Amino acid sequence: MTVLILGGTAEARALASALADGGIAVVTSLAGRTCDPALPTGAVRTGGFGGAAGLASWLRAHPVAAVIDATHPFAATMTAHAAEACAAAGVPLLRLERPSWRAHPDAPAWRWVADHAEAAAVASELDDRILLTVGRQQVGRYERLVDRPVLVRVAEASATPLPPAWTLLVDRGPFAPAAERALFARHGVRVVVTKDAGGGHTAAKLDAARETGATVVVVARPLPPAGLTLVADVPAAVSWVTASTRPPGR
């Protein structure tokens, strides 16, 4: 049997490895937005499917026993397409999503907002140096901060030039606590604007914010489609695959 993983995250790579170790064939689909992605174990396909209809057609044409959506927590469009396509093709679907940062001990003190427009508006009211860590594709939504001293950290640089007052830092997690404290001190960071990515790879900035008294503005996650089965870690996803693909009577 073959399992299709909608990937691009560390969890997707770990899942591909775990399933392959258990003798399950895996195809991981990557969106193709990253120039040099970390490749998972097993077969890899790159590029979109052509929406929900395209994914449903692909599933009907390939011997896929199950689909696991392990895309980023903010890949809402892909998650919606996966739910629609799997329902149409009659293929079991699981959402593997790392835990939210809402359980972080400092979360009640953060400025939680609904979207990037609101995050930009809140940040514009804070007269301090800003660390912007919202992903390369979202940076353009913060143009109202054009004259502010903003440190933009992204995993991969965009071809679009930044405003003169901004500083670009290209770096990829995981980030160590000591390195984050040094970054805050070096750039005088007083405001962190981020999104609820969850997990531990980029969480050290939240602890650095607490230690320095920096304000944290967090864009909340989009809600998943109704009825979607979710798990929070790779072992749970492996157990689900085993149960979902077990032959009747076994």
* CATH top-level class of 2-99+223-244: alpha beta
In tens, the pLDDT along 85-95 reads 999 999 999 99
Residue 35 pLDDT > 90, yes or no?
no
Residue 140 pLDDT > 70, yes or no?
yes
Residue 248 pLDDT > 80, yes or no?
no
In tens, the pLDDT along 195-218 reads 999 988 889 999 999 999 999 999
pLDDT at site 158: 80
pLDDT at site 33: 62
In tens, the pLDDT along 220-235 reads 999 888 889 999 999 9
Q: What residue ranges do the domains of the chain occupy?
A: 2-99+223-244, 101-219
Architecture in CATH of 101-219: 3-Layer(aba) Sandwich (3.40)
Arithmetic mean of pLDDT over the chain? 91
Of the listed ranges 7-11, 57-61, 76-80, 218-222, the one predicted with least confidence = 7-11
pLDDT at site 48: 86
101-219 matches 2-99+223-244 in CATH topology: yes
pLDDT at site 107: 96
Structure tokens at 167: 């500083």
- Region 81-85: mean pLDDT is 96
Rounded to 5, what percent of the chain is helix, strand, coil?
Answer: 35, 20, 40
Checking 9-14 for CB contacts under 8 A at 24+ apart, the result is 9/70, 9/71, 9/72, 9/98, 10/199, 10/201, 11/70, 11/96, 11/98, 11/199, 11/233, 11/234, 12/40, 12/68, 12/70, 12/71, 12/96, 13/38, 13/40, 13/41, 14/234
Residue 244: C-alpha distances to residues 55, 59, 81, 93 (Å): 20, 16, 21, 9
More confident residue, 37 or 82: 82
pTM reported for the whole predicted model: 0.87
Residue 127 pLDDT > 80, yes or no?
no
- Region 41-49: mean pLDDT is 83
Q: Which residues contact 8 (CB under 8 A, 6 or more apart)?
A: 30, 31, 34, 37, 70, 71, 72, 75
Residue 159 pLDDT > 90, yes or no?
no
